[in-house]
Amino acid sequence: MRELKNVLQRAAILSGRPELEAADLDLGEALPRTTSMDAPPLDVVPFAEAKRQASEAFERRYLGLALARQDGNVKRAAESIGMVRQSLQQKMRELGLRRAKDDTEPDD
């Protein structure tokens, strides 16, 4: 049951949308989550843009997983990956990440 909860929390954090879709669950798809059928081939995108997109996808996935592992607790997630809480919060804003947690939990 905990695994399912983690998968759903991770999907909620990474999707940035109010409703989840099957692709958000990342349950062994043939293509990586960051691959889009609408994305231009890499050799068409300038290097700097391709690098920015790859870096953003990595950060979104890495931070989303850290948040999901800590049940959306930003302070614990930051500590677990060696970041300052405020830096993680800023990065979450930049990437549009939300923490997935019950409204009954106290804010950290």
Tell me, what's the pLDDT at 103?
Answer: 38
Instruction: Look at residue 72 in the predicted model and tell me its pLDDT.
Output: 92
pTM for this predicted structure: 0.59
The angle subtended at Cα 23 by Cα 20 and Cα 27, nearest 5°, is: 110
Domain spans in the chain, listed from the N-terminal domain onward? 2-31+48-95
Q: Are 25 and 11 in contact (CB under 8 A)?
A: yes
Q: Which helix (H) or strand (E) holds 5?
A: helix 2-15
54-103 pLDDT, tens digit per residue, is: 999 999 999 999 999 999 999 999 999 999 999 999 999 999 988 765 43
User: Which stretch of 32-41, 48-57, 84-93 has the lowest confidence by average pLDDT?
Assistant: 32-41
Higher-confidence residue of 28 and 22: namely 22
- CA 11 – CA 67 distance, rounded (Å): 11
Percent of the chain with pLDDT over 70: 68
- Residue written as token pair 């999707």: 15
